[in-house]
Amino acid sequence: MYFASDNSGPASSAVMTALIKANEGYRMGYGADTEMEEVRARIRAEFEAPDAAVYLVTTGTAANALALATLGQSWQTVFCTAPAHIQQDECNAPEFFTGGAKLTLVSPNAKMTTKELRSAIEAEGTRGVHGPQRGPVSITQVTEHGTVYSLNELQALSSVAKEYNLPVHLDGARFANALVALGCTPAEMTWKSGIDAVSFGGTKNGLMGVEAVIFFDPKHAWEFELRRKRGAHLLSKHRFLSAQMLAYLTDDLWRENARNANAHATTLATGLKQCGVELAYPQEANLVFPRMSRRIHNALLDAGAVYHLWGGSLESPSDEVITARCVCDWSTSKEAVQSFLELLKRVTIA
């Protein structure tokens, strides 16, 4: 009954096999390995972007921060939501790697609207040399609240950004989960919707630790390479990154893993609602946010369930309702979900 994070699960067996194979013999370093050539070709094919610049780093924070630094300038501001990972969970890495660009919070919600984005853009870049200049727009897909932007929503937000000649970055730590939820193609969810760069996540979906950064305009390639090296994120034994991503892209593993995670989250959400539990946000991918009393949380956690509270603590009063975050990853089993729901039924009856 482990639902704490999709960072906590194991790597896929195909990925581990690929790493063992990559350990044989010798390869050129720093991304000149033959596996990376294949990764680049496959990502370009998946995204229908033959000229895209494709790079690998080990963390989502590096992917986001280096991409935004490449798209923007130190005197600009990055537009994002208040719950965005780049705002809440990256220890000012975007500000650090951009050399001082600030973040402008467009919305208090996980999803920004076109009205909110336009208002935020209009409010910045108005003080000449005295204020921050308008910079990249960063959108998270899947959002931090587990919701998914539709293609129409992505296109509308990108259109607003383009009115002001601003580039658009997509934080796709859970890119695959959003893609299978929408039933669209990678191209449709990125450059065909106006996205200029994407952090294509793999760590949360079965990789040991690899994220791809994709620029659809190759003019950004050299600057990103320099920033990646200067930021200490160019690995010498790069083949071990390439091998993971290549396995991820082979036999549709990345989609299959995401389908499994999303399906179990749907089962979990359905079961919670059947038990009378309200969800704080719609379940649209692999995250579920149930709202339950402190008494129920304590009983579930004491019985071995593992998940995070989304605000609040386990101290009295027992009837206070607290939101939790439950995450299903690729390795979540049907048995784990059913055990959790059966435990919940016993707890609620008691």
Cis peptide before 167 (omega within 30 of 0): no
Residue type at 164 in one-letter notation: Y
DSSP character string of 12-69: PHHHHHHHHHHTSS---STT-SHHHHHHHHHHHHHTT-TT-EEEEES-HHHHHHHHHH
Residue 18 has pLDDT above 90, yes or no: yes
- Mean residue pLDDT of the chain comes to 97
**What local confidence, expressed as pLDDT, does residue 348 receive?**
83
Interatomic CA distance for residues 6 and 241, integer angstroms: 19
DSSP character string of 167-210: -EEEEETTHHHHHHHHT--HHHHTGGGT--EEEEE-GGGT-SS-
Q: H helices within the chain, ranges in order?
A: 13-22, 34-46, 60-71, 85-88, 93-98, 114-123, 151-163, 175-182, 186-189, 221-230, 239-249, 253-274, 294-302, 334-349
Give the list of residues 6+ apart from residue 69 with CB closer than 8 angstroms, or none. Answer: 94, 97, 98, 99, 101, 227
Residue type at 84 in one-letter notation: A
Least confident piece of the model among 99-103, 280-284, 309-313, 330-334: 309-313
Tally the C-alpha atoms within 13 A of residue 44's C-alpha that lie toward its C-beta.
Answer: 15
Closest alpha carbon to 72 in 187, 218, 213, 224: 224
Interatomic CA distance for residues 118 and 114, integer angstroms: 6
What are the tens digits of pLDDT across the range 221-272? 999 999 999 999 999 999 999 999 999 999 999 999 999 999 999 999 999 9
**What local confidence, expressed as pLDDT, does residue 350 receive?**
62
Interatomic CA distance for residues 216 and 44, integer angstroms: 9
Closest alpha carbon to 141 in 103, 177, 191, 115: 177
**What local confidence, expressed as pLDDT, does residue 336 receive?**
97
* pTM of the shown model: 0.96
Split at pLDDT 50, 70, 90, the class of 154 is: very high
